[in-house]
Amino acid sequence: MNKLIDQAIDDEEETWAIRPNKTQLKRDIALISDLCEEISQLAPAQITRLGLPENIEIDLLEAAKMPLKSARKRHMKFITARMRKIEIEPIQLELDKIKAKSAHAARELHQLERWRDRLLSDDKQALTEFLSAYDNADAQHVRQLIRNAKKELATATPPKSSRLLFRYLRELNAY
């Protein structure tokens, strides 16, 4: 009889309740909270582009308008709790795309500013390089804008032509 009891005890598996690691849960919540904070800093059109559920999107748009006080902190905790229930990875990927696109746009603007500065300097080679880089540019129009911008610099008048030149460079870059 003892053998049967011993065998029955051996046959039973000991199972323990496996609960999630509390520290890991806190880390996950902190990551989601940081993500929510980052999303709330975006423009409304970019928030819409993330493909969030409608209720979370509305909450994030409201949070973006709130001052950095305790009410906003409570609201962000509420949003974080809602975000824990949905899949985060696609949202994070879309956010990374938005940030990369923003960085790319900033690089393009800096490049156009450098072109404008080179064109307004007395470097004759800059105009030739620019016209060869941008085949669709109207050379006469660019020369006129450069000439007017240099006159404005000499007379210390507002830089209208310089702004027009930059706007034209942006239009050319868009093609």
Whether residues 43 and 72 fall in one domain:
yes
Encode pLDDT of 72-126 as tens digits: 999 999 999 999 999 989 888 888 888 888 778 888 888 888 888 888 887 778 8
Please check whether residue 164 lies inside any domain of the structure.
Answer: yes
Whether residues 27 and 79 fall in one domain:
yes
Instruction: State how far Cα 58 lies from the chain centre.
Output: 19
Please check whether residue 3 lies inside any domain of the structure.
Answer: no
Which residue range(s) make up the domain with 110? 104-174
Number of domains composing the chain: 2
Q: Can you give the CATH number for the domain in which 129 is found?
A: 1.10.60.30
Please check whether residue 96 lies inside any domain of the structure.
Answer: no
Q: How big, in percent rounded to 5, are the helix, strand and coil portions of the chain?
A: 75, 0, 25
Say if CB 93 and CB 142 are below 8 A apart: no
Is this model's pTM higher than 0.75 or not? no
Encode pLDDT of 20-63 as tens digits: 888 989 999 999 999 999 999 888 888 888 888 999 999 999 99
